[in-house]
Amino acid sequence: MAARVDLDGKPIKPLTICMIGAGGFIGSHLCEKLMAETPHKVLALDVYSDKIKHLLEPAGAHPWSDRIQFHRLNIKNDSRLEGLIKMSDLTINLAAICTPADYNTRPLDTIYSNFIDALPVVKYCSENNKRLIHFSTCEVYGKTIGSFLPKDSPLRKEPEYFVLKEDESPCIFGPIEKQRWSYACAKQLIERLIYAEGAENGLEFTIVRPFNWIGPRMDFIPGIDGPSEGVPRVLACFSNNLLRHEPLKLVDGGVSQRTFVYIKDAIEAVMLMIENPARANGHIFNVGNPNNEVTVRQLAEMMTDVYSKVSGEPSLEEPTVDVSSQEFYGAGYDDSDKRIPDMTIINKQLGWDPKTSLWDLLESTLTYQHRTYAEAMKQAIAKPAAN
Does 296 help bind ligand NAD (rule: CB under 6 A)?
no
In degrees, rounded to 5, the angle at the alpha carbon of residue 178 between the alpha carbons of residues 134 and 183 is: 10
Angle between helices 119-127 and 181-201 (to 10 degrees): 10
Please, which residues have CB within 8 angstroms of residue 231's CB and are 6 or more apart in sequence?
A: 99, 101, 222, 237, 328, 329
Among residues 124, 135, 238, 329, the one that binds ligand NAD under rule CB under 6 A: 135
Binding to ligand NAD (CB under 6 A) within 302-361 occurs at: none
Does 116 help bind ligand NAD (rule: CB under 6 A)?
no
Does 213 help bind ligand NAD (rule: CB under 6 A)?
yes
| Cα distances (Å, whole numbers) of residue 243 to 132, 218, 302, 371, 384 | 39, 15, 15, 11, 18
Nearer to ligand NAD, 47 or 171 (CB): 47
Does 76 help bind ligand NAD (rule: CB under 6 A)?
yes
Told to judge if 183 belongs to the known catalytic residues of this protein, a careful annotator would answer yes
Distance CA(327)–CA(135), nearest Å, equals 30
3 state SS of 218: coil
β-pair partners for 210? 287
What DSSP designation does 352 have?
-
Binding to ligand NAD (CB under 6 A) within 11-50 occurs at: 21, 23-27, 46-48
Minimum distance, C-beta of residue 24 to ligand NAD, in the bound complex (Å): 2
Does 39 sit behind a cis peptide bond, omega within 30 degrees of 0 on the bond before it? no
Nearer to ligand NAD, 138 or 203 (CB): 138
Q: Which of 141, 183, 333, 373 is catalytic?
A: 183
Minimum distance, C-beta of residue 23 to ligand NAD, in the bound complex (Å): 4
Nearer to ligand NAD, 76 or 80 (CB): 76
Minimum distance, C-beta of residue 215 to ligand NAD, in the bound complex (Å): 9
Which residue is closest to ligand NAD by CB?
Answer: 24
Radius of gyration of the chain (CA): 21
How crowded is the C-beta side of 87, counted as CA atoms within 13 Å? 13
Concatenated DSSP letters of 69-138: EEEE--TTS-THHHHHHHT-SEEEE------HHHHTTSHHHHHHHHTGGGHHHHHHHHHTT-EEEEE--G
Does 137 help bind ligand NAD (rule: CB under 6 A)?
yes
Minimum distance, C-beta of residue 283 to ligand NAD, in the bound complex (Å): 17
Please, which residues have CB within 8 angstroms of residue 174's CB and are 6 or more apart in sequence?
A: 142, 143, 180, 181, 334
Binding mask 82-111 for ligand NAD (x = CB under 6 A): ------------xxx-x-------------
**Nearest-10 Cα torsion for 262, 104, 186, 32:** -30
Minimum distance, C-beta of residue 142 to ligand NAD, in the bound complex (Å): 13
Among residues 10, 74, 116, 227, the one that binds ligand NAD under rule CB under 6 A: 74
Task: Please work out the total of residues on this chain that contact ligand NAD, with binding judged by CB under 6 A.
Answer: 23
Nearer to ligand NAD, 25 or 333 (CB): 25
Nearer to ligand NAD, 156 or 209 (CB): 209
Nearer to ligand NAD, 105 or 308 (CB): 105
Q: Which residues does the annotation mark as catalytic?
A: 183
Given the rule CB under 6 A, which residues bind ligand NAD? 21, 23-27, 46-48, 74-76, 94-96, 98, 113, 117, 135, 137, 210, 212-213
